[in-house]
Structure 1
Amino acid sequence: MSKNNALPALILGGLLCIGLIMLGNTVGDKLIKMKAMERTVTVKGLAEKEVRANVAIWPIRFTEVSNDLTQLYQSVESKTAKVVSFLKQQGFSDDEITVALPAINDRQAQGYVDPNVKYRYSAAISISLYTEQVDLLLSTRSNMLSLAKDGIAISDQDYNSKAQFLFTKLNDVKPEMIQSATQNARQVAEKFAKDSDSKLGKIKKAAQGQFSINDRDSNTPYIKKVRIVSTLTYYLND
């Protein structure tokens, strides 16, 4: 190679080296910044709210016995009508009351007759009340004892006879609770950032938890506790 061609090649090589060095420094700075951006903190935010049930389902059950099948049917019809009439007097409508067919049991048909069983036939009667008048249902339950004078013993102690209370208006409280859970999570993240001599950055990732609805306690099943836990990840800055 001649001296005339060597000089431009040398200059070009030098410029390329300088460019590569500058490029390396730039990429290095970006990598350092990206690594700094990877500093994060993941926190959970809790929101709870007590609400009253807006729907109640009450299976009203009682039993009739007799040795005469015809008499049993008549007694079932009479007492069922009295229970339905009682519910209407309390303020419930026909649309809220459902009467199921009675379940008749012939104890002699089972092949073995217990000598201690006094009545051959028994009938299990079930009347279901589905209503949004929760407070009315609560007051009605305390008045059911008045049916005893007509010989109707309502069973409400076993599991299948207990009233169920539901809260079906979750969408009405969702936005408020999600906002509250997010604010709670941010407070926790800010406390962490302060304790670690950092500044809280933007949200990197957020995950909304599942809503849960449970009884507040066993004595007041018509009061529900709605709960949600949200998980958020924030960037931490120096």
Structure 2
Amino acid sequence: MKNWRMEAIILAVGMLLLGVFIKNGFSEFAQKDRSVNVKGLAEMEVPADKVTWPLVYKSLGNDLGALYDDIKRSNQTILEFLKEKGLAETEISVNAPEIIDLKAERYSNNNDTPYRYNVTSVITVTSMKVDLVRKLISEQGELLKRGIAITGGDYRYNVSYEYTSLNKIKPGMIEEATKNAREAAEKFAKDSESELGKIRHASQGQFSISDRDANTPYIKKVRVVTTIEYSLED
């Protein structure tokens, strides 16, 4: 005769253990699924370390040969001015002149002009001496004394400033952004009566560099946002 009582006890113990395992499994699954996703921001203002300055002037005339000689003299005068002020020849480049035949413009209203040719000449300064170049931009009026009028207003020839030393500040900014993200995660964990666990996933956003404002393009704002997912524990 079978011992039904013993089998019943074994079955009850097995069911009890199964229930414990299921409970622990659900608890671990729920715990595993708990997380918080936060973003950390780091910003820094830095001075531009590279400047590109196009010096533009125009020449009008009817004789291309005479215009060529005039442009050659003007270019030499500008080169001498820039070198006198402390720029190296390697920082200065002379662009090919842009010539417009006013009489050949089919839809222009220039038929009454006494000149046939309008020549635009550009000498470009590209330098890491940002402060010096900014000073020269404010002093370019001196070229008027030497017979050269630098023109402006053409969007193609605006002064531009760059920041090229991003790799020097990247590690520190990433560290700051990560720290800020962790502080936000810790605050969330505290408010939810949880403990902050390990990082489950992290991604670093792209660095962006922009002008601080329209009036100070030589000051740049560097920005990065990191996104980090932390696990939460009871």
**Fold match (TM-score > 0.5):** yes
| Residue in structure 2 matched with residue 143 of structure 1 by the alignment | 139
Matches within 5 A, 1:163-178: 163-178=159-174
SS in 1 for 2:65: helix
Question: Which of 16, 24, 31 does residue 29 from structure 1 map onto?
Answer: 24
| Residue in structure 1 matched with residue 226 of structure 2 by the alignment | 230
Q: CA deviation at 1:16?
A: 5.8
* Kept after mapping to 2: 8 A contact 1:59/1:160: no
| Residue in structure 2 matched with residue 95 of structure 1 by the alignment | 90
Distance 2:146 2:164 in 1: 36
Q: CA deviation at 1:109?
A: 2.8
SS in 2 for 1:29: helix
Q: CA deviation at 1:65?
A: 0.5
Matches within 5 A, 1:158-197: 158-197=154-193
Distance 1:64 1:226 in 2: 41
Stretches of structure 1 that go unaligned for 5 or more consecutive residues are none
Q: Does 1:124 align with 2:114?
A: no
Distance 1:128 1:201 in 2: 56
Q: Does 1:81 align with 2:76?
A: yes
Q: CA deviation at 1:198?
A: 2.2
Question: Which of 203, 210, 214 does residue 214 from structure 1 map onto?
Answer: 210
Distance 2:17 2:37 in 1: 37
Q: CA deviation at 1:70?
A: 1.7
Matches within 5 A, 1:49-88: 49-88=44-83
Give aligned pairs, total.
233
What TM-score comes out, normalization by structure 2 length? 0.91
The code of the aligned residue for 1:165 comes to Y
| Residue in structure 2 matched with residue 41 of structure 1 by the alignment | 36
Describe the superposition over 1:59-78 as per-residue Cα deviations: whole angstroms up to 9, x where unpaired.
11110011222211111111
Describe the superposition over 1:172-200 as per-residue Cα deviations: whole angstroms up to 9, x where unpaired.
11110011011111111122222222222
SS in 1 for 2:80: helix
* Kept after mapping to 1: 8 A contact 2:102/2:111: no
SS in 2 for 1:114: coil
Distance 1:113 1:50 in 2: 48
SS in 1 for 2:121: strand
* Kept after mapping to 1: 8 A contact 2:103/2:111: no
In terms of Rg, which structure is larger? Answer: 1
Q: CA deviation at 1:99?
A: 0.5
Q: CA deviation at 1:31?
A: 2.2
Q: Does 1:105 align with 2:100?
A: yes
Distance 2:59 2:229 in 1: 63
* Kept after mapping to 1: 8 A contact 2:202/2:227: yes
The code of the aligned residue for 1:189 comes to A
SS in 2 for 1:104: strand
Identity over aligned residues, as a percent? 42
Describe the superposition over 1:40-79 as per-residue Cα deviations: whole angstroms up to 9, x where unpaired.
2211111000111111111111100112222111111110
